[in-house]
Amino acid sequence: MSYAIIEAAGKQIWVEPGRFYDLDLMPVEPYQKISLKRVLLIRDDKLVKIGRPWIQGACVKATILRHLRASKLTVYKMRPKKKTRRKQGHRQELTRIMVNAIMHSAPLNRSIIIQN
């Protein structure tokens, strides 16, 4: 099982090849290929490479699938004993990406070997 932890849209996300993820809106057209270079950790079978803060020469190849909106979030504020009430809704704009591959150019030497 190979996976990576990347930093994208201000969040750290655990990604695996062949799966899709929803990130905050990215200014990229659908069906374009992107590479995310802020890779914090890579695990490939029994080897783990940890970056300080990022791994040099590593990237995650992905494809933009579509732009969408999250489900509606309702914000309701009221002050007790007053007739003040405020109801507001919010829908976050999202970008759905499909992770194609996790690439690392340098060999995973000096890595941590996990023994089960």
User: What distance in Å separates the CA atoms of residue 113 and residue 22, rounded to the nearest whole number?
Assistant: 31
Is residue 47 over pLDDT 90? Answer: no
Name 21's bridge partners: 97
Q: Does residue 77 lie in a domain region?
A: no
Q: Is the pLDDT confidence value at 49 over 80?
A: yes
18 inside domain:
yes
Q: Domain span at residue 46?
A: 2-23+30-69+94-106
Residue written as tokens 């990130």? 23
Q: What is the pLDDT of residue 116?
A: 52
Domains contained in the chain, number? 1
pTM: 0.81
Task: Flag whether 19 is in a domain.
Answer: yes
Residue 85 belongs to some domain of the structure:
no
What pLDDT does residue 24 have? 96
Per-residue pLDDT, averaged over 44-65, amounts to 91
Q: Which helix (H) or strand (E) holds 12?
A: strand 11-15
Residue 15 lies in a domain: yes
Give a yes or no: residue 98 inside a domain: yes
Is 38 within a domain?
yes
Question: Does a structural domain hold residue 81?
Answer: no
Least confident of 19-28, 40-49, 62-71, 82-91: 40-49
